[in-house]
């Protein structure tokens, strides 16, 4: 009998938690500003380079991003500023590899369903980007900065009225010469993390 009471109590607690969560997700959020901290994966494209007879290859790496969002009250438009770091490494033929210490930032406008509306949010958009390396791909003794654009997409799943789980994909688009002529680069950053609105 005691086990039945314990099982019944656990069931009631679980149901109450589910109802509370569902109710929170159904509420319209009034918070305009949101901060997201996330981590993920950096995938460069156009990875090959050349310095004299030495072949270079840009390698994938882990990445960390911070996103500051400004959600319009109509629930359809969001302005975002983001910054991040990717632990990009450059393989130098057969003589090992070195890090570039790559930092990136974007300013973009996103359209879709922002977190001011209840339920799952989804946004796509684009804007401007800057990619800077403390140690350039071609020469580790100097830095390099490239200006370009960005395309972005995100999905946010609410946990309560202020906190959500967010998944982002960013395409950093810029022209750069890695020893084989100037080419368009599309470096991808995939990340997931928690967002807090206030």
Task: Look at 195 and 14; give whichever has higher pLDDT.
Answer: 195
Mean pLDDT throughout 18-28? 47
68-88 pLDDT, tens digit each: 999 999 999 999 999 999 999
140-191 pLDDT, tens digit each: 999 999 999 999 999 999 999 899 999 999 999 999 999 988 999 999 999 9
51-74 pLDDT, tens digit each: 888 999 999 999 999 999 999 999
pLDDT (0 to 100) of residue 30: 64
83-117 pLDDT, tens digit each: 999 999 999 988 889 999 999 999 999 999 999 99
Q: What domain range is 95 assigned to?
A: 2-197
Domain count, the chain: 1
What b/e string do you get for 82-116 counting C-beta neighbours within 10 Å, with b at 16 or more? bebbbebbbbbeeeeeebbebebbbebebebbbbb
Q: How far apart are CA 72 and CA 88, in angstroms?
A: 35
CATH of the domain at 47: 2.40.160.20
């Amino acid at each position: 009998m005691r086990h039945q009471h314990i099982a019944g109590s656990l069931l009631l607690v679980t149901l109450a938690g589910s109802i509370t969560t569902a109710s929170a997700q159904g509420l319209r959020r009034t918070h305009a500003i949101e901060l997201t901290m996330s981590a993920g994966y950096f995938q460069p494209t156009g990875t090959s380079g050349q310095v004299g007879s030495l072949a270079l290859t840009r390698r994938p790496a882990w990445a960390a991003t911070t996103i500051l969002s400004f959600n319009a009250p109509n629930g359809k438009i969001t302005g975002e500023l983001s910054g991040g770091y990717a632990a990009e490494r450059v393989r130098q033929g057969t003589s090992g590899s070195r890090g570039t210490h790559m930092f990136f930032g974007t300013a973009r406008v996103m359209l879709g369903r922002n977190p001011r509306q209840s339920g799952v949010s989804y946004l796509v958009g684009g804007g401007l980007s800057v990619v800077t390396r403390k140690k350039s791909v071609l020469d580790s003794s100097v830095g390099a900065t490239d200006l370009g654009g960005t395309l972005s997409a995100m999905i946010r799943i609410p946990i309560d009225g202020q906190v959500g789980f967010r998944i982002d994909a960013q395409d950093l688009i810029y022209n750069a010469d890695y020893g084989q002529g100037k080419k368009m680069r599309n470096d991808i950053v995939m990340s997931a993390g928690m967002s807090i609105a206030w």
